[in-house]
């Protein structure tokens, strides 16, 4: 039986937020692709490794891990049924046979003890109500000495290019719907490095380094505005407002699309070699 303790996030990721991510999977990938190299360089997956991908979503990073662990396997865990369906479809289409998916709340799921050599996550570990408990649970799932590598957003805000570029959307359209607001609030929960260190108590070799990325929001300004507005379908947007939004993104258009500079933390840590089996 599946136990979810993060019920607010389970509702959002099985509702409008998860459906939007599943429907626009390629677009969300384009926002995050830039961090893949740094994440997998840090994870150093070896051919026979068993890899766990936490908050795997549509499984892009699970499939990268599975390709790297060609003689091992990768397991993606996620709380969102629609995103896991998408992950399974894409895994079958790409003919990857060593990647599987588990629908569960990673904070409390009974992972096999010492069942993995590496844990990765591309933005899937910020949504826990109790991060310290979640990372203790994940530590028990790793082999002693095993590696954790994840990325999570740095503080957003008016000083960042993304913050400046998307400022008008908040000003002209108001706040997002409650599910999106809950997901966005959780997304920022690990933006403070001191907090990351605190919730990784019991891990060793904790390192936090900045990685910048160019997030591609659309082919051009009109396409990017369509995507952003599609997060709140049914909201009336007067033509004049729409024009202002498109104009605000025009300076970021390039041959490669509308690119906004963002920044994440790359976090790495190890389960201590001499950790007790239960990790406490």
Ligand X SMILES: C[S@@+](CC[C@H](N)C(=O)[O-])C[C@H]1O[C@@H](n2cnc3c(N)ncnc32)[C@H](O)[C@@H]1O
User: Interface residues with ligand X (CB under 6 A)?
Assistant: 6, 9, 13, 18, 28, 32, 55-58, 60-61, 77-80, 83, 105-107, 122-124, 127-128
Q: Which is nearer to ligand X, 57 or 146 (CB)?
A: 57
Q: How far is the CB of 183 from ligand X (least distance, A)?
A: 8
Q: Report which DSSP code applies to 98.
A: S
Q: How far is the CB of 123 from ligand X (least distance, A)?
A: 4
Distance CA 172, CA 16 (A): 22
**In the bound complex, what is the minimum distance in angstroms from residue 99's beta carbon to ligand X?**
14
Judged by beta carbon, residue 38 or residue 222, the one nearer ligand X is 38
Show the tokens assigned to 88: 């399974």
Q: How far apart are CA 185 and CA 183, in angstroms?
A: 6
- Write down the least CB distance from residue 176 to ligand X, Å: 15
CA–CA gap between residue 141 and residue 160 (Å, rounded) = 36
DSSP string, 38-91: HHHHHH---TT-EEEEET-TT-HHHHHHHHHSTTSEEEEEES-HHHHHHHHHHH
Instruction: Output 78 or 253, the one with its CB closest to ligand X.
Output: 78
Residue 184 or 222 with smaller CB distance to ligand X = 184
Nearest CB to ligand X, comparing residues 6 and 98: 6
The residue among 105 and 117 lying less far from ligand X, judged by its C-beta, is 105
The alpha carbon dihedral of 108, 114, 116, 120 has a sign of: positive
DSSP state of 156: P
CA nearest to 147, candidates 273, 279, 28, 16: 273
CA–CA dist 233, 243 (Å, integer): 18
- HSE on the CB side for 212, CA within 13 Å? 7
């Amino acid at each position: 039986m599946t136990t979810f303790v993060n019920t607010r996030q389970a509702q959002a990721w099985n509702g409008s937020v998860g459906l939007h991510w599943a429907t626009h999977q390629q677009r969300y990938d384009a926002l995050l692709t830039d961090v893949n190299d740094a994440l997998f360089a840090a994870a150093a997956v070896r051919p026979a490794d068993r890899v766990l991908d936490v908050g795997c979503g549509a499984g892009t990073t699970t499939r990268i891990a599975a390709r790297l662990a060609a003689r091992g396997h990768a397991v993606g865990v996620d709380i969102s049924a629609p995103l896991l369906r998408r992950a399974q479809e894409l895994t079958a289409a790409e003919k990857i046979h060593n990647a599987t998916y588990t629908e569960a709340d990673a904070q409390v799921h009974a992972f096999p003890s010492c069942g993995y050599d590496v844990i990765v996550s591309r933005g899937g570990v910020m949504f826990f109500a109790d991060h310290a408990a979640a990372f203790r649970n994940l530590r028990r799932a790793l082999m002693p000495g095993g590696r954790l590598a994840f990325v999570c957003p740095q503080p957003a805000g008016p000083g960042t290019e993304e913050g400046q570029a998307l400022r008008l959307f908040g000003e002209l359209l108001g706040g997002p719907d409650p599910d999106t607001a809950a997901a966005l609030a959780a997304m920022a929960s690990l933006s403070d490095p001191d907090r990351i260190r605190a919730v990784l108590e019991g891990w060793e070799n904790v390192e936090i380094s900045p990685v910048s990325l160019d997030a591609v929001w659309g082919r051009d300004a009109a396409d990017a505005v369509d995507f952003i507005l599609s997060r709140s379908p049914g909201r009336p947007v007067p033509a004049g407002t729409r024009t202002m939004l498109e104009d605000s993104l025009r300076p970021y258009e390039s041959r490669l699309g509308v690119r906004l500079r963002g920044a994440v933390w790359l976090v790495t840590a190890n389960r201590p070699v001499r950790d007790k089996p239960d990790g406490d």
